[in-house]
Amino acid sequence: METKLLILGKGDNIITMILDNLYSINRRMPDIHIYNNLGLPIINTFTHDGFNIELFDDVDLNNYDKIVLGVYQPQHKIKIIETINPDINKFINVIHDGLDISHMSELGRGVLINSKVSIAAHTTVGDFVSINRHVSIGHHTIIGDYCSINPGVNIAGNVTIGEGTTIGMGTNILHQVKIGKNTIIGAGSVVTKDIPDNVVAYGSPCKIIRDNETQSI
């Protein structure tokens, strides 16, 4: 029986990641349906050998047993889940082949992890987290639901990142730092001390710049 995969939302970069991850593990899903429920502009035409990809403006969730989020920004992820209220048990993890993920770590549902990622022991990754390429996550770290971790981020041990937070490309987060929910850490930052909820912060060392009013959890 052929398996249909439903992608909820349409973000060009994240869908490219999903297809790349699926191909890396030879997970053949001949029918991939993309539900563009957020009305995002179509920039690219998605094609990939081995996948039949179709774009829909309306779908019946009951016709699918495997679902993944096709957006990257935390506020878009939250909007989809709160608006559609899908069965969370249908969400699958799409993880690139050959990663260094400790068997003593714990991953939630709907997690996307791209290539060249390392996750150390006793780390917890929440639901609907997106981790881009070349990311290193240390031991006993907690990453909350809906977070997005951009390429080249290094996270030390015993770090806590609150739900819905975005970590910018190339950021370094030092040992035992706590970053609040609904916060944005700018690219290239060095986070040496705790950062609260609902702020935009960046720099080396990372400092609070302003409140984050673009997202809400």
> Taking a C-beta distance cutoff of 8 angstroms, is the pair 149, 131 a contact?
yes
Q: CB neighbours of 165 closer than 8 A, spacing ≥ 6?
A: 74, 144, 147, 148, 179, 180, 181, 182, 183, 184, 185
| Residue 1, C-beta contacts closer than 8 angstroms, at least 6 positions apart | none
Q: Is 139 a catalytic residue?
A: yes
CB 70 within 8 A of CB 18: yes
CB 188 within 8 A of CB 169: yes
Total H helices, total E strands in the chain:
2, 23
In the chain, the N- to C-terminal Cα span, in Å, equals 39
Query: By C-alpha distance, which of 74, 5, 80 is closest to 36?
Result: 80
* HSE-up of residue 154 (Cα within 13 Å, Cβ side): 9
Q: Which of 157, 148, 160 is nearest to 184 (CA)?
A: 148
Q: Which long-range contacts (CB under 8 A, 24 or more apart) does 142-145 make?
A: 144/181, 145/108
Catalytic residue among 48, 122, 134, 139: 139
* Active-site amino acid positions: 139
